[in-house]
């Protein structure tokens, strides 16, 4: 039973991480989208995309754990 709860918690942890990255990408005047940090290479955009990918990975891993232990 604790495995399924772990999957639910991991899934729920991934949602706000992904949403924060999504909202940061949508904010055109924010620091990570500014010209100051993205001038030589878009490091701000890359950082936000990587954080969003980690959140999405957490959510998918949580769903896989829930699916694996659904009948336990």
- pLDDT at position 11 is 96
**Cβ-count burial of 62 within 10 angstroms (0-12 exposed, 13-18 middle, 19+ buried)?**
buried
The DSSP secondary structure of 7-45, one letter per residue, reads HHHHHHHHHHHHHHHHHHHH-TTSGGGSHHHHSSS-HHH
Residue 1: band (very low, low, confident or very high) from pLDDT cuts 50, 70, 90: low
Name the residue ranges covered by the structural domains of the chain: 2-68
Residue-wise pLDDT for 7-66, tens only, equals 999 999 999 999 999 999 988 888 889 888 889 999 999 999 999 999 999 999 999 999
């Amino acid at each position: 039973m604790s495995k399924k709860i772990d999957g639910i918690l991991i899934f729920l942890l991934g949602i706000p991480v992904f949403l924060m990255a999504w909202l940061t990408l949508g904010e055109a005047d924010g620091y990570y989208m500014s010209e100051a940090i993205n001038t030589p290479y878009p490091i701000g955009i890359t950082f936000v995309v990587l954080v969003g990918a980690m959140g999405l990975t957490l959510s998918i891993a949580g769903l896989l754990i829930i699916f694996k232990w659904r009948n336990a």
